[in-house]
């Protein structure tokens, strides 16, 4: 009989240690109930994928989100409200270099170029912001490409081509080796940030003949703006913000369709006839029944008809069941769930102001506005507006449209400084908010520039317009009670000479 080889003491000790550690780990209650695998959590299977692992989901998410925007009235409304809140009439640049004359030249040229900015000639720079934001809602990302010399009529040899994210091949991945770079979902990565983008020559979803929808081309990152919504550190592709609501919206649509179909079918049955007669022609005599062209028994009912029934016949009219008292609360909750990831309020989405008062409306709007301000300041401004402004300034100087200051080439970044003014939010209480702003300015806790910026205005332009208005009023001898130079806050004359320019001083 063969002898069994005994394990060494070292192996026995190691095996026992592993078993003991496993036993102890299994016996310890999790510190967080959310990590429990007991009765409540055993069916909760959560993905542990990294931030770049959205490849398998991107295409399906885009298709479904776009389908809902096209066909569901509520999601279509949410997308319009989303764009309107974020962009309004446009996020405007304000040159902020230390040279006022250079700032004025840049802003004057911008007013002309922003109409030529779109390479397709469809809209202005601010219209492009709206298109990009619409793409962010549907797909979570959008692309802008620098185009040089596309339109001879443009005031600058610079334009921007907008592209949907489908042009960026999310299935193209490549391991980094000594001879080839790392490519993640169509983006060629440098040491810390993208160095190039691999773009299809044509939109892969187009069905037009003759288009090359499979060949990719490498475009340097210096020529591409990749605007995207990201939720995790290291995420390289954007995801639609309504991803969490897609299945819920589809379930709601199917429920509505089923309810509508049930009501339609119930409404088609007007009445049911009960008869004890074996006469096959009994139905044809009831309520003016007749056979249509297809041989189907049909009955018509007209107002004021008094119909006699045969002995043994009875008629019972159909009374379709109502949807019940739970329908409206259920739909209201579904609409709230739909509005939440869209960053719009329930009232903005549906127009339903039932049960809404001033305080609740203001709280809801303030919360949503803070979210929109984050998207403006962390996504749209740095990823689209800022690169566009830098391309604009460099192009204007390179082509000689603007002569730079003498020290421009010593430190060009000083002349790229810019602020972006977001569109103003409509005041909920205009009078009270204006009075509060004036008190803050007088108390030194706020400035006129900040107040103007919150209204979507540039303080420099505001001051220029005020000066022009005042000079015109003085020239025409006009006095308005809105002019603080001549009328005090209490309505009294603040300066008799200004109030009556023709009256000499001392009279």
Does the predicted TM-score (pTM) go above 0.85? no
Span 41-75, pLDDT tens digits:
777 777 777 776 676 788 899 999 999 999 999 99
Closest CA to 63 of 243, 207, 238: 243
Per-residue confidence at 149, pLDDT binned at 50, 70, 90? confident
Residue pair 176/182 in contact by the 8 Å Cβ criterion? yes
Tell me the two tokens of residue 203. Answer: 């939109």
> Among the residues of 405-457, which ranges form H helices?
430-443, 448-454
Indicate the domain borders of the chain: 55-242, 245-290+306-340
Tell me the two tokens of residue 10. Answer: 């070292």
Give the CA distances from residue 390 to residues 80, 90, 94, 129, in Å, rounded to whole numbers and listed in that order: 29, 18, 12, 16
pLDDT the model gives residue 353? 81
Per-residue confidence at 204, pLDDT binned at 50, 70, 90? confident
Closest CA to 144 of 338, 350, 385: 385
Residue pair 274/315 in contact by the 8 Å Cβ criterion? yes
- Residue that has been written with the tokens 């044809």 in this structure: 284
Cα(75)–Cα(89) distance, integer angstroms: 22
Q: Which of 11-25, 36-50, 79-93 has the lowest mean pLDDT?
A: 11-25
DSSP 222: G
Say what the alpha-carbon torsion angle 102, 108, 111, 114 is, to the nearest 10 degrees: -40
What is the pLDDT averaged over residues 119-135? 95
pLDDT the model gives residue 507? 46
Residues 6+ apart with CB under 8 A from 317: 270, 271, 272
Residue pair 380/129 in contact by the 8 Å Cβ criterion? yes
What is the pLDDT averaged over residues 192-218? 84
pLDDT the model gives residue 221? 95
Span 459-501, pLDDT tens digits:
888 888 888 888 888 888 888 877 777 776 666 666 655 545 5
List, in sequence order, every beta strand (DSSP E) within 374-477: 418-421
Residues 6+ apart with CB under 8 A from 490: none
pLDDT the model gives residue 498? 52
Cα(183)–Cα(199) distance, integer angstroms: 12
Q: SS3 of 315, please?
A: strand
What is the pLDDT averaged over residues 243-260? 87
pLDDT the model gives residue 364? 81
Kindly give the interhelix angle for 55-71 and 125-139, rounded to the nearest 10 degrees: 110
Closest CA to 348 of 359, 364, 327, 331: 364
| Pairing, β 158-163 against β 182-184 | unpaired
Residues 6+ apart with CB under 8 A from 120: 161, 162
pLDDT the model gives residue 36? 76
- Residue that has been written with the tokens 């107002």 in this structure: 303
Residues 6+ apart with CB under 8 A from 176: 182
DSSP for 233-300 reads TT--S---TTGGGHHHHHHHHHHHHHHHHHHHHHHH--EEEEE----TTHHHHGGG-EE-TTS-EE--
Residues 6+ apart with CB under 8 A from 483: 470, 473, 498
Separation of CA 42 from chain center: 36
Give the CA distances from residue 332 to residues 81, 97, 324, 353, 446, in Å, rounded to whole numbers and listed in that order: 18, 51, 14, 12, 41
Give the CA distances from residue 94 to residues 98, 379, 392, 418, in Å, rounded to whole numbers and listed in that order: 13, 18, 13, 6
Residue count (the chain): 507
Q: SS3 of 228, please?
A: strand
pLDDT the model gives residue 150? 73
pLDDT the model gives residue 320? 64
Cα(204)–Cα(154) distance, integer angstroms: 30
Query: For the chain, what is the mean pLDDT?
Result: 82
């Amino acid at each position: 009989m063969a002898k069994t080889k005994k394990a060494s003491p070292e192996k026995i000790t190691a095996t026992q240690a592993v078993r003991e550690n496993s036993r102890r780990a299994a016996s310890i209650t999790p510190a967080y109930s959310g990590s429990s695998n007991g009765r409540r959590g055993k069916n909760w299977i959560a993905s542990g994928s990294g931030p770049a692992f959205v490849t398998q989901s991107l295409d399906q998410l885009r298709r479904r989100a776009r389908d809902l925007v096209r066909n569901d009235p509520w999601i279509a409304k949410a997308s319009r409200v989303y764009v309107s809140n974020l962009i309004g009439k446009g996020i405007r640049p304000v040159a902020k270099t230390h040279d006022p004359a250079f700032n004025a030249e840049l802003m004057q040229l911008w007013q002309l170029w922003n109409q030529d900015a779109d390479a397709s000639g469809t809209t202005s720079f601010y219209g492009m912001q709206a298109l990009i934001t619409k793409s962010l809602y549907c797909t979570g990302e959008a692309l802008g490409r620098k185009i040089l010399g596309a339109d001879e009529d443009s005031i600058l040899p610079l334009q921007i081509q907008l592209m949907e994210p489908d042009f960026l091949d999310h299935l193209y991945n490549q391991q980094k080796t000594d001879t080839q770079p790392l490519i993640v979902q169509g983006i060629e990565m440098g040491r810390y940030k993208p160095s190039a983008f691999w773009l299809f020559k044509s939109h892969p979803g187009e069905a037009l003949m003759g288009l090359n929808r499979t060949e990719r081309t490498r475009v340097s990152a210096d020529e591409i703006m990749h605007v995207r919504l990201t939720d995790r550190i290291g995420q390289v592709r954007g995801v639609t913000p309504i991803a969490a609501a897609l299945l819920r919206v589809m379930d709601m649509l199917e429920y509505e369709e089923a309810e509508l179909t049930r009501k339609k079918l119930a409404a088609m049955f007007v009445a049911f006839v009960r008869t004890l007669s074996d006469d096959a022609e009994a139905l044809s005599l009831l309520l003016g029944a007749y056979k249509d062209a297809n041989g189907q028994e049909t009955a018509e009912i007209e107002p004021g008809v008094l119909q006699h029934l045969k002995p043994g016949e009875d008629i019972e009219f159909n009374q379709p069941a109502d949807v019940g008292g739970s329908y409206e609360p259920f739909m209201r909750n579904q609409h709230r769930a739909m509005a939440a990831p869209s960053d719009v309020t329930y009232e903005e989405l549906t127009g339903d102001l039932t049960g809404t008062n001033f305080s609740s409306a203001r709280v809801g709007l303030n919360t949503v506005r803070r979210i929109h301000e984050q998207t403006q300041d962390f996504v749209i401004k740095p990823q689209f507006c800022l690169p566009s402004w830098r391309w604009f300034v460099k192009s204007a100087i390179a082509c000689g449209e603007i002569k730079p200051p003498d020290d421009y080439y010593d430190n060009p970044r000083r002349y790229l400084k810019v602020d972006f003014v977001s569109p103003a939010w409509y005041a909920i209480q205009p009078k009270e908010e204006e009075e509060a702003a004036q008190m803050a300015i007088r108390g030194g806790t706020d400035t006129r520039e900040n107040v103007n910026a919150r209204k979507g205005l540039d303080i420099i332009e505001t001051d220029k317009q005020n000066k022009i208005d005042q000079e015109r009023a003085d020239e025409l001898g006009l006095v308005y009670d809105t002019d603080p130079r001549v009328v005090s806050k209490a309505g009294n004359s603040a300066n008799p000479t200004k109030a009556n320019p023709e009256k000499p001083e001392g009279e």
